[in-house]
Structure formats: C-alpha cells, structure tokens
C-alpha cells in the first residue's frame, strides 16, 4: 500500500470545503480544547485559515493539540469539514516524524491479544505507579491516564463455550460487530448486546473480525488504517450479503460510517456496502421502536442516571438514540450531560503532553456525573467510559447494560 | 415517531420547536449547524428602521404591513409578533432579555453608532443613549475587536435620537484573560469573567481610573455562564456597567443560543444536529418525510407537519446558480420577490439588492404559497429568514419576523394536530 491516504489528505479533499468558511467563529466557540488551553489556537485558526498557507508543510504546529473530537464540524453552519481537514493536515505534518508512542497505542487489537492471556498480571501492572512512571518516561503515555481492564476471556472465547441460545430466532439474522475493545476489554458489553438481540428474536452472527483502524487514523497512520478498515469490511461482509450489521462500539461504527471515507478518502465499494448497513446498537433499537417493533415490556428501574453522548456518536448525526430508548424504561430518569467532550478523544488524553488538557476538557462532565449519580453513568463508547470512570470515580456502562437489565436478562 | 419535524436551529426553528413540544407534540429538530442567533448581538430587533429610525416598533410594523402586503409582517401580523416576543422573553427569563416591545431602546454599537433594538440583555441597559448620559468606554489591550477610542469619540459627536447629547471618554487597560496569550477572543474573556478571582483583579485595575458619575461601557464579555457576572462587577466597582456587543464570537448571542438549546432539550425536543436535510418525499400532495444525509446511509424522518426554518442565502436555504436561477434547496418551493427587476445591481453602496428580499411567500398560517396564493403543501409551514419581502438586517426586523412567524406556525400546527 502506497501513501494514497496521505496524498489525498495533502492535496484534495481538505480544500474542497474550505471556501465555504465565512469566518463566523461558531466552531471556535464550541471547541472544548481551545476553551481550556492557549496551546491550541482553535479550529478555525488552524483549519480553514491556516490551510490556505499550507503547501505540503504545516505553518501552525498547534494543530497537534487538536483532539479530533469533531465538534467543529458538527456545529459548522456552512458545512466546512473542519475536523476532517485538521486530521488530514496533522497526518501530513506528522508523517516524517511519527512518534513510536503514537504507533504503539493505535494497535488496539495487538494490545488486547497481548493482555488477555496475562490479564491479572497486565491489570496489576497497569495499576503499579513505578511501572506507569517508566511507561510515561519511555513511551509518553501519562501515568494517570485511563487504561482498559484486561479480561481473562475474550468475546470469541465466550461465544465458543456458551450453550446455544434458548430462544429460536423469529426475526431473521443480524451481524454483530464488536470492535477490538468489545472483543478483548469490553467483553461484557458485547455479550449483553448479543443477548438483547437474541432476546428480541434475532439470530446473531459474529464473524471473526479485525480492527477498524480508527486509532491509527486519528494518529495519522493512514496507510495502516486503510488496510485495517478494508480487511474489516471483508470480515463483516463474509457473514452474509445485505444483512444489517449492529455494533455496540460507537467509535468504530463512526469510522465505518464516515471517517474512513471522509478523512482518508477510502472509496472502495466494500466500505460503502458496510457503511450503509451498519447501525449503532442503540440506533438499531431506536429504529425498531420507531417502526413499532420494539417490545417495551421493561421492568421498572427506579434510578436517576447521567448519560453522556460521546463526540464520535454525535458526529454520526443521528440524534441521541440511547436517550430515547432508555426513556422507555419505567422509573428511569436519564439526565443528558450536555457536556461537549470527556477529553479522551480516543488516544489523545493518554498522551503525557495532553493529559492535563484532556482532564480539563472533561472536568464539567466529571462534576456533572458525580453530582447526578455517584454509582453509575452511561456512555456509548469505550475510551470515553474508561475516561469518565477513571476521572470521576463513577462506574460507567454502555446503555445496553440498562436495557439488558430492564428486559430481565440480568 | 415525531409528529412534527422542524428544519433549522436558528431563533425561528428553536422557538417553534420549543413551543410545539411544550404544547405536547413530539418534535424532531434537524439542523445542519448552529443557527445565526449565536452570531447576533443577543438582542431582539423587531423593527428598527423604516427606513427612518423607529421609536415604536409594534405601531410601525402595523403601518408597514398595511402599506406593503409583500412584507412578512403583513402575513404575520402585530399580534403574533407581540406574542412571539413575549414568548421568547419568557422562555429565557429576565436575566437574559428585558424591555418593552412597544418601544425601542437605543444602544451603542462596537463602532460607536446608536442602534435601535427592542429587547436587550439587562447587562446592556445602562448603555441607553439618552441626553445627559456620561460614559467611559473601557477597552482591553488584548481584545482587538473593541476600539474604545473610536466608540467614545463617535458617541460623543453624535446627536442622539432624543435630540440630546452624551459625554463619552475612553480608557484602555490590560488585564490578561489567561497567561501567555496576547490576543484573546471575546469568548476567552467571557470565560475569565465567570471567575470571581478574575473579576476582582479586573475591578482592582479599573477602579482607580474611574471618576464619580461614570457609567462604564465594556465589551460584551462579562461572563458566559454566570449571568450575574456583570452585576457583580458593577457592585465591585460601585458604578453602573454596560456591555456593548462585539462581532462574533459574540457572547450575548451565545448566551441566548445556549439557553434556548437547553430549553429545547428540557421540553423534550429530539435534537438531531450536524445533519443536512437534502430532500423531501411527497405523497398524495402532502409532505410525508424529509431525508437527511446522515453518516453512512441517508435516513428519513416522517411526520405529520413540517416547519421550514432554514434561514436564507447565508445559511444555504436559498441558492443561486451561475445562470441566476434561484432555488429553495430542500423542497424546491416557489420563490417570491424575483420580479423586482435586476436582483443584483452593481451599485454596492446604493439601494438594497432585491435578491436579498427573495424567499417564500406565506399565507396567514405561515404555509408557503404558490404564485396564485394557494398553500403548496397543506402540512408544510415556514418561519424566519426564509420568508420573502424584508431586508432584515437593515430594517432590523430579523428577530421579530423569526419569533412572530415561529409562534404563528407552531400555533397553527397545534390547532391542526389537536
Ligand atoms: C450579516 C447579517 C447581519 C444581520 N443583522 C441583523 C440585525 O442586525 N438585526 C436583525 O434583526 N437581523 C439581522 N440579520 C438577519 C437575521 O440574522 C436573520 O433574519 C435571522 O437570523 C433568521 O433566523 P432563522 O432562524 O430564520 O435562520 P438562521 O439563524 O439562519 O438558521 C438557519 C438554520 O437552518 C439550518 N439549515 C439550513 N439549511 C438546512 C438544511 N438543508 N438541513 C438542515 N438544516 C438546515 C442551519 O444550519 C441553521 O441551523 C442579519 C443577517 C446577516 C446575514
């Protein structure tokens, strides 16, 4: 694979939407990073403005402080793809001096595979200060940054061992996409998603699947990311033609729905085929409900719970399906965080030079979560859950856990 | 499923969506991006110039409506404007909007002109330009969008609308909003003013430079979330304080926008942001659904009624191609105002460009009409900048038109779907 992604990023797409910018500053007002640090000069400044001066080389290195949360694109009234433009410019800027750290932390599957067999050990190691200090010094991963908890059993391990589902399928077949985190770390979320789908009457196929390449993309490793995402498309397509693909990994779904195409310029038909078929787990349930096909025989759950819609989910432009579905549960009061971002933005908040910024970005959210319910918060994407849990001290689950409970499955 | 879909999250779309939701209807609000409210001065203009300065906006719009049946106020009517303005004021509360819809205020701008507006934020009221006022306009060294000298000099040489004069001098002080930044935005300052520590430092730097009787004019950055920040500063200084709106990022507009968004959420409006409506599906003469260009696959939002609050040319609701053909970009609605001769003339400092009064014509319940005056679709309504017939920015009528039409459309829908 040659540098097609970078070529695209450097020359083509970025500029297409540039001239739509009217300098209204709406993106600047919404940017959660510029709000907390002067090190990032803001999305308009490093984006549509600086882009005019870029000719291969970057003129403004504060671009590296953009977290790629995508809020700027979301709020832009003129359709300028500011976040995409900035991700592309950063990939080009970093291409000749890619830090080892950024290559390492974007290998999500590798991390999972390496950690699962030694889970207790890995977990223990990740909580040992001196080890984390060394990791910070050598690799630049902040010692207090949230790390996933390794599990002793992978999702596929569970699938192999579990008894066949009790209920016979009544609704047809769906493909389940779990993402790397859902395969190795957030195994419970994947299990619960599959069980809810089966409870609803679907036959669930879980094909062997690799990484979507999102972390590589957000770290500017476009070639590797493109290869990953296309391999994943092959994996998912192998499960059957035209089937709906459901995923409880919100960020990876975003990668398949639009980022691979919009940021890296992947136009492969395999990606298109997957992009139109994939649904976020909660989006899938919401659509069923809209169609009058979601059983709402939920058990009451008397609780007030904070819910945070992650940036990656907002960028998919589908509203907040989790809130709509959760509100069908009697007794449950769902309080939307109203916060822009938790700060982590994939791997941004792990980096030692960005850790403090990411914590400041997430502060209003952590405060809100603690104040709303010190025992439980809900959020759709993995790294955001790890960040919220670590920084607020409040255990944070995928919304499907609540649905699973309300259906009496746990 | 939602019973109503509102397209656009500007002042018109937000107002309509909240009113519909509070009336008990399930509402989806779809928007491509943030609306123009955040870029506004954070005041509510009802009618400012016709073309001479207006003192009593409600009376003046009545006169205008009678004389000009193509003006949006002719179909909206005074009553709906009054109820729209009152509704908005009530929604955001007296910490954000005050004033008498029957009479305009005259407030200073960031170049020292005297601007008529109807409702204003309480933090702006001490800046009313009336005979005998005594202002000191305070600039901030690191905030480049507020030329204190120009503002004070222009105000001091102006004969005021009431025929009197005011006194104005200027000062520039340097209190950094955050370390290491020599060029801060108004927003950065506004966030700093939320912090009591910063306000204290600021007051300490400014107080020795004030003299008895000064009303202190500052850039409109006195707090973003703390709506009492300006009042606390005023108390600390022992002087009346007033905010003068800046060009974007405009903090007063931001305060209004945030407050309305929160109100929409609280009212149960389903917000779908960052999404463009690309087309509509019509069955049996009614709009059945709109299609949104969602990431991945397009998605339809069906509903019983639709409100088009997509703005004007500036928001992409209207477009002109290289042949000069004008289109309303979602429904392809017939456009009024195209018969006004040359739509864009070359005299850019002269008369209005008729192009900017092009838009959709509406009947009394705000449904877009065809050339014969008949509703195009029985369940499609329009509100705000999309309406034909007004030069909203020079008349200073944009917000009045928006809230009046939003309330009228919402009420018609509530009646229809009840
Ligand atoms: C430079 C300028 C200065 C002005 N100054 C004044 C003034 O001083 N006083 C005054 O009274 N008025 C002024 N106006 C006019 C005033 O701003 C408008 O009348 C008012 O903002 C209109 O509000 P709105 O809600 O109708 O539209 P907007 O605020 O423009 O909002 C439109 C909304 O629709 C969305 N949208 C558009 N197309 C689509 C689509 N296809 N799919 C989904 N969403 C879509 C947009 O993203 C946005 O959310 C000025 C206008 C301009 C351009």
pLDDT band at A15; cut points 50, 70, 90: low
Which of B392, B395, B404 has the most ligand 1 atoms within 8 A of CB, as the residue to mutate? B392
Comparison of pLDDT for A220 and A244, the residue scoring more = A244
Q: Which of A8-17, A226-235, B32-41, B120-129 has the lowest mean pLDDT?
A: A8-17
Q: Ligand 1: does its nearest atom lie under 6 Å from the Cβ of B315?
A: yes
Residue whose CA lies nearest to ligand 1 atom number 9: B396
Q: Which of A7-11, A215-219, B45-49, B232-236 has the lowest mean pLDDT?
A: A7-11
pLDDT in tens, A133-143: 877 887 788 88
Between the CA of B248 and the centroid of ligand 1 the distance, in Å, is: 14
Q: How far is CA B330 from the centre of its chain?
A: 23
H or E, element range at B218: strand B215-219
Q: Closest partner residue to B38 among A26, A254, A290, by Cβ? A: A26
Using alpha carbons, select from B226, B274, B272 the residue that is nearest to residue B251.
B226
Q: What is the C-alpha separation between B164 and B132, in angstroms, rounded?
A: 7
pLDDT band at B6; cut points 50, 70, 90: very high
pLDDT in tens, B67-117: 999 999 999 999 999 999 999 999 999 999 999 989 999 999 999 999 999
From the CA of B384, give the closest atom in ligand 1: 26
Other C-beta atoms lying within 10 Å of the C-beta of residue A109: 19
Question: Do A176 and A388 contact (CB within 8 A), yes or no?
Answer: no
From the CA of B330, give the closest atom in ligand 1: 41
Q: Which residues contact B25 (CB under 8 A, 6 or more apart)?
A: B2, B3, B4, B413, B414, B417
Question: Do B314 and B355 contact (CB within 8 A), yes or no?
Answer: no
pLDDT of residue A6: 58
H or E, element range at B7: strand B4-7
pLDDT of residue A53: 81
**Residue A41 is assigned to a structural domain of this protein:** yes
Buried b (16+ CB within 10 A) or exposed e, B64-83: bbeeeeebbbbbbebebbbb
User: Tokens representing A297?
Assistant: 């025989």
Between the CA of B148 and the centroid of ligand 1 the distance, in Å, is: 29
> At residue A24, does pLDDT exceed 80?
yes
Q: CATH number, domain at A317?
A: 3.40.50
Q: Closest partner residue to B39 among A24, A76, A276, by Cβ? A: A24
> At residue A159, does pLDDT exceed 70?
yes
**Residue A163 is assigned to a structural domain of this protein:** no
Q: What is the C-alpha separation between A247 and A77, in angstroms, rounded?
A: 30
Mean pLDDT value of segment B37-42: 95
pLDDT in tens, A250-286: 889 999 998 888 888 888 999 999 999 999 999 999 9
**Residue A106 is assigned to a structural domain of this protein:** no
**Residue A329 is assigned to a structural domain of this protein:** yes
Closest residue of chain B to A256, computed from CA coordinates = B296
To the nearest whole angstrom, how far is the Cα of A283 from the nearest Cα of chain B? 12
Q: Pairing relation of β-strands B277-283 and B286-292? A: antiparallel
Please state the pTM of the whole predicted model.
Answer: 0.93
Supply φ then ψ for residue B214, to 5 degrees.
Answer: -70, 135
User: What is the largest distance, in Å, between two alpha-carbon atoms of chain B?
Assistant: 73
User: Tokens representing A90?
Assistant: 């950063």
Mean pLDDT value of segment B379-388: 98
Question: Do B271 and B29 contact (CB within 8 A), yes or no?
Answer: yes
From A94, A127, A152, give the residue that closes a domain: A94
User: Tokens representing B410?
Assistant: 């919402």
pLDDT of residue A265: 85
**Residue A391 is assigned to a structural domain of this protein:** yes
* Chain B positions in Cβ-Cβ contact with residue A77 (cut-off 8 Å): 32-36, 315-316
Mean pLDDT value of segment A78-84: 87
In this predicted complex, what is the ipTM? 0.90
* Domain that residue A369 falls in: 296-406
3-state secondary structure of B107: strand
3-state secondary structure of B253: helix
Closest residue of chain A to B224, computed from CA coordinates = A29
Which of B311, B357, B381 has the most ligand 1 atoms within 8 A of CB, as the residue to mutate? B311
Mean pLDDT value of segment B24-35: 95
**Residue A22 is assigned to a structural domain of this protein:** yes
**Residue A133 is assigned to a structural domain of this protein:** no
How many angstroms separate the Cα of A189 from the Cα of each of A18, A242, A246, B393? 40, 25, 13, 53
Q: Ligand 1: does its nearest atom lie under 6 Å from the Cβ of B309?
A: yes
Q: How many domains does chain A have?
A: 2
pLDDT of residue A244: 96
Q: Ligand 1: does its nearest atom lie under 6 Å from the Cβ of B11?
A: yes
> At residue A194, does pLDDT exceed 90?
yes
> At residue A193, does pLDDT exceed 90?
yes
pLDDT in tens, B145-156: 999 999 999 999
pLDDT of residue A16: 66
pLDDT of residue A261: 87
**Residue A56 is assigned to a structural domain of this protein:** yes
pLDDT in tens, A344-367: 988 899 899 999 999 999 999 999
pLDDT of residue A1: 33
Mean pLDDT value of segment A9-22: 68
Closest residue of chain B to A81, computed from CA coordinates = B274
Comparison of pLDDT for B213 and A111, the residue scoring more = B213
pLDDT of residue A109: 67
pLDDT in tens, B253-276: 999 999 999 999 999 999 998 889
Any idea which residue has 């919304």 for tokens?
A399
> At residue A174, does pLDDT exceed 50?
yes
pLDDT of residue A285: 98
Question: Do B275 and B294 contact (CB within 8 A), yes or no?
Answer: yes
pLDDT in tens, A324-340: 999 999 999 999 999 99
From A59, A94, A129, give the residue that closes a domain: A94
Q: Which residues contact A348 (CB under 8 A, 6 or more apart)?
A: A67, A68, A218, A354, A358
> At residue A295, does pLDDT exceed 70?
yes
> At residue A101, does pLDDT exceed 80?
no
pLDDT of residue A2: 38
> At residue B206, does pLDDT exceed 80?
yes
pLDDT of residue A256: 93
From A94, A113, A131, give the residue that closes a domain: A94
Comparison of pLDDT for B418 and B332, the residue scoring more = B332
Comparison of pLDDT for B349 and A302, the residue scoring more = A302
Q: Closest partner residue to B34 among A26, A38, A278, by Cβ? A: A26
> At residue A13, does pLDDT exceed 70?
no
Q: CATH number, domain at A53?
A: 1.10.1060.10
pLDDT band at A151; cut points 50, 70, 90: confident
The four Cα atoms A110, A114, A120, A124 give a dihedral, to 10 degrees, of -70
> A319 and B295: CB-CB below 8 Å?
no
Using alpha carbons, select from B280, B265, B297 the residue that is nearest to residue B7.
B280
pLDDT of residue B389: 97
Q: What is the 3-state secondary structure (H, E, C) of chain A?
A: CCCHHHHHHHHCHHHHCHHHCCCCCHHHHHCCCCCCCCCCCCHHHHHHHHHCCCECECCCHHHHHCCCCCHHHHHCCCCCCHHHHHHHHHHHHHCCCCCHHHHHHCCHHHHHHHHHHHHHHHHHHHCCHHHHHHHHHHHCECCCCCCCCCCCCCHHHHHHHCCCCCCCCCCCEEEEECHHHHHHCCHHHHHHHHHHHHHCCCEEECCCCCCCCHHHHHCCCHHHHHHHHHHHHHHHHCCCCCCEEEECCHHHHHHHHHHHHHCCCCCCHHHHHHHHHEEEHHHHHHHHHHCCCCCCCCCCCCEEEEEECCHHHHCCCCCCHHHHHHCCCCCEEEEECCCCCCCCCCCHHHECCCHHHHHHHHHHHHHHHHHHCCCCEEECCHHHHHHHHHHHCCCEECHHHHHHHHCCCC
Comparison of pLDDT for A146 and B364, the residue scoring more = B364
């Amino acid at each position: 694979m040659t540098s097609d992604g970078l070529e695209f990023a450097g020359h083509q797409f970025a500029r297409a939407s540039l001239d739509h910018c009217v300098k209204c500053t709406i993106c600047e007002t919404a940017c959660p990073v510029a709000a907390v640090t002067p090190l990032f000069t803001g999305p308009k400044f490093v984006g549509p403005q600086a882009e005019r001066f870029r000719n291969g080389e970057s003129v403004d290195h504060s671009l590296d402080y953009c977290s790629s949360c995508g809020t700027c694109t979301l709020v832009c009234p003129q359709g300028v793809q500011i976040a995409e433009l900035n991700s592309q410019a950063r990939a080009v800027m970093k291409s000749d001096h890619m830090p080892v750290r950024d290559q390492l932390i974007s290998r999500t599957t590798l991390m999972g595979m390496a950690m699962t067999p030694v889970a207790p050990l890995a977990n223990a190691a990740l909580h040992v200060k001196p080890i984390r200090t060394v990791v910070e010094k050598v690799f630049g991963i902040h010692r207090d940054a949230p790390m996933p908890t390794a599990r002793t059993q992978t999702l596929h391990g569970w699938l192999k061992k579990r008894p066949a589902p009790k209920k016979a399928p009544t609704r047809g077949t769906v493909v389940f996409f779990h993402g790397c985190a859902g395969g190795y770390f957030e195994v419970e979320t994947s299990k619960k998603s599959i069980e809810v789908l089966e409870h609803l009457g679907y036959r669930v196929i879980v094909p062997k699947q690799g990484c979507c390449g999102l972390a590589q993309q957000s770290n500017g490793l476009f070639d590797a990311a493109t290869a990953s995402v296309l391999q994943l498309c092959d994996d998912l397509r192998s499960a059957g033609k035209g089937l709906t693909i459901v995923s409880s990994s919100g960020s990876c779904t975003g990668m398949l729905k639009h980022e691979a195409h919009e940021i890296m310029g992947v136009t492969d038909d395999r990606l298109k085929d997957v992009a139109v078929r994939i649904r976020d787990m909660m989006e899938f349930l919401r659509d069923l409900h809209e169609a009058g096909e979601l059983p709402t025989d939920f058990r009451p759950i008397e609780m007030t719970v904070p819910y945070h819609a992650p940036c990656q989910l907002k960028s998919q432009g589908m509203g907040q399906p989790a809130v709509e579905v959760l509100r069908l549960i009697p007794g449950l009061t769902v309080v939307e965080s109203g916060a822009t971002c938790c700060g982590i933005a994939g791997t941004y908040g792990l980096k030692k030079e960005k850790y403090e910024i990411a914590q400041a970005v997430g502060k209003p959210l952590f405060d809100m979560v603690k104040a709303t319910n010190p025992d439980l918060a809900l959020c759709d994407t993995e790294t955001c859950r790890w960040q919220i849990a670590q920084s607020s001290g409040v255990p944070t689950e995928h919304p499907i856990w609540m649905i699973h409970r309300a259906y009496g499955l746990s | 499923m939602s019973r109503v879909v509102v397209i656009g999250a500007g002042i018109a779309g937000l107002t309509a969506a909240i009113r519909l939701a509070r009336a008990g209807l399930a509402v989806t609000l779809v928007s491509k991006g943030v609306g123009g409210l955040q870029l506004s001065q954070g005041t509510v203009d009802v009618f400012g110039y016709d073309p001479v300065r207006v003192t009593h906006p409600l009376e003046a719009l009545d006169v205008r409506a009678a004389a000009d049946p193509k003006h949006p106020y002719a179909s909206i009517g005074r009553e709906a404007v009054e109820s729209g303005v009152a509704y908005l004021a009530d929604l955001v509360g007296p910490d954000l909007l005050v004033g008498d819809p029957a009479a305009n205020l005259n407030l200073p701008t960031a170049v020292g002109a005297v601007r008529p507006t109807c409702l204003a934020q309480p933090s702006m009221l001490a800046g009313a330009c009336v005979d005998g006022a005594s202002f000191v306009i305070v600039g901030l060294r690191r905030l480049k969008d507020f030329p204190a000298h120009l503002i004070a000099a222009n105000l001091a040489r102006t004969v005021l609308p009431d025929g009197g004069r005011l006194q104005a001098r200027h000062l520039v002080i340097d209190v950094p909003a955050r370390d290491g930044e020599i060029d801060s935005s108004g927003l950065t300052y506004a966030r700093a003013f939320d912090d009591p520590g910063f306000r204290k430092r600021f007051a300490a730097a400014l107080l020795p430079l004030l003299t008895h009787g000064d009303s202190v004019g500052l850039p409109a950055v006195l707090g973003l979330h703390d709506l009492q920040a300006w009042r606390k500063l005023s108390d600390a200084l022992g002087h009346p304080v007033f905010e003068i709106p800046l060009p974007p990022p405009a903090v007063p507009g931001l305060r209004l926008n945030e407050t309305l968004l929160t109100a929409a959420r609280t009212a149960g409006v389903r917000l779908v942001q960052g999404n463009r409506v690309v087309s509509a599906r019509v069955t049996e003469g009614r709009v059945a659904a709109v299609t949104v260009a969602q990431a991945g696959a397009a998605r339809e939002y069906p509903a019983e009624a639709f409100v088009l609050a997509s703005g004007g040319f500036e928001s992409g609701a209207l477009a002109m191609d290289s042949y000069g053909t004008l289109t309303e970009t979602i429904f392809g609605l017939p456009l009024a105002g195209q018969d006004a001769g040359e739509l864009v003339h070359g005299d850019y400092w002269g008369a209005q460009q008729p192009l900017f009064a092009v838009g959709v014509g509406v009947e009394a319940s705000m449904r877009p009409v065809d050339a014969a005056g008949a509703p195009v679709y029985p369940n499609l309504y329009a509100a705000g900048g999309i309406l034909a017939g007004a030069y909203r920015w020079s008349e200073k009528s944009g917000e009045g038109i928006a809230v009046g039409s939003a309330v009228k459309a919402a009420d018609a829908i509530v009646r229809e779907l009840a």
